[in-house]
Amino acid sequence: MTAGSQVVSSEARPASGPVAVSRSPHASLRPLRLGEVQITGGLWGDRQRLNREVLLPGAARHLEAAGNFDNLRAAAGHGSAPFRGPVFMDSDVYKWLEALGWELGRDDGEGLVRLADDAISLVAEAQDRDGYLNSYYQVAQPAARWSNLAHDHELYCAGHLIQAAVAHARGRGDERLLHVARRFADHIERVFIGSDRPGTPGHPEIEMALVELFRESEERRYLELAGYFVDQRGHRLLGPGHFGASYFQDEIPVREATTVRGHAVRALYLAAGVTDIYLETGETDLLAAIEAQWRDMTAAKLYLTGGLGAHHQDEAFGDPFELPPDRCYGETCAAIASVMWNWRMLLATGKARYADLLERTLYNGFLAGVALDGSGFSYVNPLQVREQHHDPVERGARRQAWYDVACCPPNVMRLLASLQHYLISTDGEGVQVHQYAPARVACGVADGRRVAFEMLTEYPWQGSVTLQIEEAPSERWTLSLRIPEWAGDASVVVNGEPVQVDPGAGYTRVARVWRAGDLVELDLPMPARLTEPHPRIDAVRGCVAIERGPLVYCTEKIDQPAQVGIDDLGIDPSAPLRADRVQQPLHGAIAVKAEGVQAPAGSWPRSGPYGDYRPAGAASELERVELTAIPYALWGNRGDGAMRVWIPIRS
């Protein structure tokens, strides 16, 4: 460690991950503690290594170049440079710091330790004597604190500071940043509770952070402050803004809201925070409201990839079934927020549907957010890019190294650094495996009994998962394995003996006295399949998509024969689909081959985009071509070009 980086925590207890509900009275499941589960390889192991070696060090350089650190230096009195960038620049530093906290909890390393220590020292220096900390207001508008809650993100930035502080306290046992965060939280409590000042954040985030601060400190006033902000919302305190009160989820009280609406990331962070409050208080009206919102979202506002948000203009949810593929916003931050919310809902209820959506989002809407080599990030994740697409200012057609509004890159980093915490949980009966990846698990179950096993798999490329029991108590306990919603022919074998699987139950539960050496074999067959959209999704009516296991597939121009245009390509749904492993540069991914068809050149006889209706029998003869699809998460890694997920049916 560098000078001044000593651990200052005095409490010796096993550290938790990002969501510490081990003592939450209304949790159905408990996540494992730090170090109890480690991803050992595979796709997610590769992504975590990339995060450590490329993304986190690279982010430090981007934060320096963009002015994030200079803003904090100015707030600390080091120079008089003007503030640079958007008002929420501090939040990018805090998300990056949170990622460092979880990453250093996995594996200490001098280079990352130095980066973290320097940034923590800078943040501590920038804090005002009264606990206030926001470099924009400290540098640019020192007399205007808390004057624009709707748009200026003071509480949002504070939330990310708190989450970063918790990560370092738990991941490293280092409470220096936690001291800074608590001073700021105490300042916020004085401003809003002590002076009876109405207000709620224009961008939710602090709610789940304050609940986590309560869990870390055991000071209930932080939980009450989170509840205060939730109950202040819905009374139009934030004003109409450009897009109306619903943009802020401020037009109806949270406990009465049954639909997701407005800015997608705001809505999802709010839902995650409300779920956290329910886990501590058991307020059933909160749970009922967010369950209704989840049903509304998944019934008619969810992209096949798990992406959320149909509007570019306000980064918001659209109307029910308004899910255009080419204009999909699907912000990477929204995918991450969805993972956070679904994990909390899973812990609250134990229902497999939340783990299913978490999986869909991780492997598709989230994983597409970063290039294979770490050279760029997606802000927007469309499901179609046209062949002649050209808009140099639009986010989405290509990944970029960094952004003026750089919320997504460090958000990707903090989820990758903490991803192992989303795989496994325990309850009073045993252990639940929610997500499949090569991993080692050593955890306690009820009454302090210890369980250890290794998980071996090539998931998501292959559906075979083997669990080798290495240590188990002499008492009976239950191993629960999630059966994904797409896996209709799943099978489970224990020591060579088949176990009954109920595909509709969500989990296969095997209760027995386990012994070291026991072998569990889960098989989730992964034939490629065609998926059709709801008929009310106008934009993709008459189309199908290719899926295999948890992966959504897309066609890219680079994989098709030279004469084939993506925008003219169709698929014969009666023809078989074939899986085929791809070599570099797509890291051994599984592609899918299908029989495609396209209209020959000149088959549209009009000079414009419209003409008289022609009966099907009058259509031109179609040309058969081979169609190749790759996992959607990997698109755009071989240069710019056309792409689409939904393929028109033509036979």
- pLDDT tens for 338-390 read 999 999 999 999 999 999 999 999 999 999 999 999 999 999 999 999 988 76
User: Which has the closest alpha carbon to 529: 577, 484, 490?
Assistant: 577
**Can you tell me the distance from the alpha carbon of 190 to that of 194, in angstroms, rounded to the nearest whole number?**
4
| pLDDT of amino acid 242 | 84
Task: Provide the pLDDT for residue 6.
Answer: 41
DSSP assignment of 13-33: SPPP-SS--TT-TT-SSEEPP
Structure-token pair, residue 452: 């250890």
pLDDT of amino acid 384 = 97
What pLDDT sits at residue 45? Answer: 97
Residues 6 or more apart whose CB falls under 8 angstroms from that of 405 comprise 86, 379
477-482 vs 430-433, strand pairing mode: parallel
C-alpha 301/C-alpha 304 separation (Å) is 10
Across the beta sheet with 30-31, the strand order is 30-31, 424-426, 430-433, 477-482, 507-512
Query: Token pair for residue 638?
Result: 């071989």
pTM: 0.96
Verify whether residue 407 is a known catalytic residue. Answer: yes
135 Cβ contact list (under 8 Å, min separation 6) = 71, 72, 74, 75, 83, 89, 90, 126
Give the per-residue pLDDT at 3: 34
pLDDT of the residue at 393 = 57
Residue 5 has pLDDT above 70, yes or no: no
427/425 Cα distance (integer angstroms): 7
149 has pLDDT over 60: yes
Question: How much is the average pLDDT of 251-255?
Answer: 97
Q: Is the pLDDT of residue 7 over 50?
A: no
CA distance 545 to 537: 13
Q: How many CB atoms lie within 10 A of CB 343?
A: 24
Residue 639: CB atoms within 10 Å:
9
DSSP letter string, 267-289: HHHHHHHHHHHHHHH--HHHHHH
- Region 271-299 average pLDDT: 99
C-alpha of 454 from chain center:
25
| Segment among 138-147, 348-357, 406-415, 555-564 with least mean pLDDT | 555-564
Mean pLDDT (whole number) for 45-66: 98
Catalytic residue (one of 36, 154, 315, 556): 315
- Alpha carbon distance 267, 245 (integer Å): 12
CA distance 493 to 521: 5
Task: Report the share of the chain in percent with pLDDT over 90.
Answer: 84
Query: Residue 617 pLDDT more than 60?
Result: no
DSSP label of 370: B
- Give me the numbers of helices (H) and strands (E) for the chain, helices first please: 15, 22
Round to the nearest angstrom and report the end-to-end CA distance of the chain: 65
Q: 414 — phi, psi (to 5°)?
A: -70, -30
Q: Identity (one letter) of the amino acid at 541?
A: R
Q: What is the DSSP code (8-state) at residue 393?
A: T
Encoding tokens for residue 20?
């510490």
Which of 157, 328, 333, 407 is an active site residue? 407
Q: Is 333 a catalytic residue?
A: no
pLDDT tens digits, residue range 193-224?
988 789 999 999 999 999 999 999 999 999 99
Residue scoring higher pLDDT (643 or 606): 643
Residue 10 pLDDT > 50: no
Range list of β-strands (E), 390-496: 424-426, 430-433, 439-444, 450-457, 464-471, 477-482, 491-494
pLDDT score of 391: 65
- Dihedral sign for Cα 76, 79, 80, 85, please: negative
Taking the C-alpha atoms of 209, 13, 48 and 490 in order, what is their torsion angle to the nearest 10 degrees?
-90
Q: In this predicted structure, what is the pLDDT of residue 321?
A: 98
Mean pLDDT of the chain: 94
pLDDT of residue 460: 97
User: How many whole angstroms separate alpha carbon 282 and alpha carbon 268?
Assistant: 20
CA atoms within 13 A of residue 191's CA, in its CB half-sphere:
18
> pLDDT digits over 530-563, tens only?
999 999 999 999 999 999 999 999 999 999 988 8
Q: Would you say 258 and 249 are in contact if contact means Cβ atoms under 8 Å apart?
A: no
Query: What is the tens place of the pLDDT at every residue in 590-612?
Result: 999 999 998 777 677 788 989 88
**Distance (Å, rounded) from C-alpha 158 to C-alpha 90?**
9
250 contacts 237 by C-beta, under 8 angstroms: yes
Q: CATH 2.60.40: which residues of the chain? A: 424-523
Q: Give the model's confidence band at 392: pLDDT under 50 very low, under 70 low, under 90 confident, else very high.
A: low
Length of the chain: 651
Beta-carbon count within 10 A of 487 CB: 19
* Six token digits for residue 390: 């050209």
Question: 424-523 has which fold?
Answer: Immunoglobulin-like (2.60.40)
Span 423-474, pLDDT tens digits: 999 999 999 999 999 999 999 987 778 999 999 999 999 999 999 999 999 9
Query: What residue has token string 């689409």?
Result: 644
- Which region among 2-16, 85-99, 474-488 has the lowest average model confidence (pLDDT)? 2-16
The C-alpha atoms of residue 494 and residue 48 are separated, in whole angstroms, by 31
